[in-house]
């Protein structure tokens, strides 16, 4: 955790370029360790429809989701999916993705995860493994957050302090 997966996905999701304007529907769902397929389906539906989902029956929710996605080009981000067991995740994914097949060509699903096996189970066609940042990059982010763009107000023993802080971060931007 903390390598910037969610932040990177947010940058893509919120980008205003022409490629992103082609998506008729854009949905963001935080999944985390509770991959409850009913909850995730309901969250997707509620992101698309202005009214809360009143239906409790899963098959009806999936039917409604199919109707909302039918023929539309969509982008769905499933953020922070965990793997509690390959078989469970595979079954959950098969149930969740059922309505996605009715979307227009070019529809995309972005998944953020700490586990490459999750991406493989979900049939990812491309992987982007975020590596730790170099200490110099961590230092630059630290300085921007600590002092703003103007490097003023640094303590006397700044060089020693910054080195120790950046070492503790181990290349993870979230700890900054």
Burial (CB count <10 Å: 0-12, 13-18, 19+), residue 69: buried
Mean pLDDT of the region 38-45: 93
DSSP string, 26-43: EEEEEEET---HHHHHHH
Q: How far apart are CA 172 and CA 176, in angstroms?
A: 8
Helix, strand, or coil (residue 139): helix
Q: pTM of the prediction? A: 0.77
Span 92-146, pLDDT tens digits? 899 999 999 999 999 999 999 888 888 888 888 888 777 777 777 777 777 777 7
DSSP H stretches of helix in 84-156 = 86-97, 116-121, 135-147
Q: Name the pLDDT band for 149 (thresholds 50, 70, 90).
A: low
Each residue's pLDDT tens digit, 54-99: 878 999 999 999 999 999 999 999 999 887 665 588 888 999 999 9
């Amino acid at each position: 955790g903390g390598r910037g997966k969610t932040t990177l996905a947010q940058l893509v999701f919120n980008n205003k370029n022409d490629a992103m304007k082609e998506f008729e529907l854009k949905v963001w769902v935080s999944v985390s360790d509770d991959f409850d397929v009913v909850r995730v389906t309901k969250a997707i539906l509620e992101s698309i429809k202005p009214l809360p989902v009143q239906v409790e029956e899963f098959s009806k929710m999936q039917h409604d989701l199919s109707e909302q996605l039918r023929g539309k080009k969509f982008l769905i981000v499933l953020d922070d999916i965990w793997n509690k067991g390959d078989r469970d995740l595979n079954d959950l994914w098969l149930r969740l993705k059922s309505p996605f097949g009715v979307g227009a060509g070019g529809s995309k699903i972005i998944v953020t995860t700490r586990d490459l096996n999750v991406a493989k189970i979900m049939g990812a066609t491309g992987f982007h493994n975020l590596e730790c940042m170099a200490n110099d990059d961590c230092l630059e982010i630290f300085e921007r957050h600590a002092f703003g763009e103007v490097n003023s107000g640094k303590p006397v023993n700044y060089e020693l302090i910054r080195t120790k802080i950046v070492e503790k971060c181990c290349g993870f931007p979230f700890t900054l």
